[in-house]
Copies of this chain bind each other. A is one copy, B any other.
């Protein structure tokens, strides 16, 4: 591998990593000396500076990281604000509704109701601060339990979860049959299957 290719590979690795990376790890992957890696990273840094693009290479605590140039921070911030203010997807609404009406639920419970993998909507709701982890269940695998947050109550103008609109009668009846958290329903088999 010539030094241009090494530089390109370093760029690709730093790009994909996101977080700061220890040059020793980069050296290990490329199977070359750390000194060499640091030297080539120096070239990469210089190349970024000369080219005057939107990116730069920075050192944080002896580690290296690609990031955007300060000049463009305002643009970056406005773009991310636009992205942030997109309304919830239908999937996210459904997951949120299941969490809210059941107060605390595991992901596999949500998936059982919705019939589909829900890791995407769950983590996006956590990121948006609408649901949060409330602990773990004392069950095999110790699954995480999620509940809604105060931010959730504010976004839906509710004082408490008691203020949620009532479910139609039949929904309520059915609901108590499926809820995992009525302790009288130790039907954990189905849950385990979902976890696999």
Query: Which A residues are within 8 Å of any B CB, using their own CB?
Result: 4-5, 7-13, 15-17, 19, 21, 25-26, 28-30, 52-55, 66, 68-69, 71-72, 75-76, 78-80, 82-83, 90-91, 114-117, 119-120, 123, 126-127, 129, 132-133, 135-136, 144
Contact = CB atoms under 8 A, between A and B. Distances in A.
Looking at A10, A12, A69, A132, which has the most chain B CB atoms within 10 Å of its CB? A12
Contacts of A127: 117, 119
A115 B144 contact: yes
A112 to B, nearest CB: 12
What DSSP secondary structure best describes chain A's contact surface? Answer: helix
B55 A15 contact: yes
Looking at A9, A30, A78, which has the most chain B CB atoms within 10 Å of its CB? A9
16 contacts: A8-B72, A12-B55, A12-B72, A12-B76, A13-B68, A13-B76, A16-B79, A21-B79, A25-B79, A29-B78, A29-B79, A29-B82, A91-B132, A114-B144, A116-B144, A117-B123
